Amino acid sequence: MRFDGLLTVSPGGNGSITYVINDTGGTAQGTNTLPVNVVSYA
């Protein structure tokens, strides 16, 4: 299975998302609603 173009955001800084998928991708947190991207995961 392969995933392409994944992203996460932490809307309004409420809570956090540790990884985009499994243990890959950075943390989405804080008051800036900036996406954390993973281009490809297989």
Q: In the numeric block, which tokens belong to residue 3?
A: 């995933």
Print burial letters for 19-31: b (CB count within 10 Å at least 16), e (below 16).
ebeeeebeebbee
For residue 31, give the DSSP letter.
S
Rounded CA-CA distance 23/12 in Å is: 23
Please return the burial class of 6, using the count of CB atoms within 10 Å of its CB with bins 0-12, 13-18 and 19+.
Answer: middle
Task: Give the model's pLDDT for residue 1.
Answer: 82
* Interval 2-38: pLDDT, tens: 888 887 777 776 777 787 788 887 777 767 666 777 7
- Supply the pTM of this predicted model: 0.49
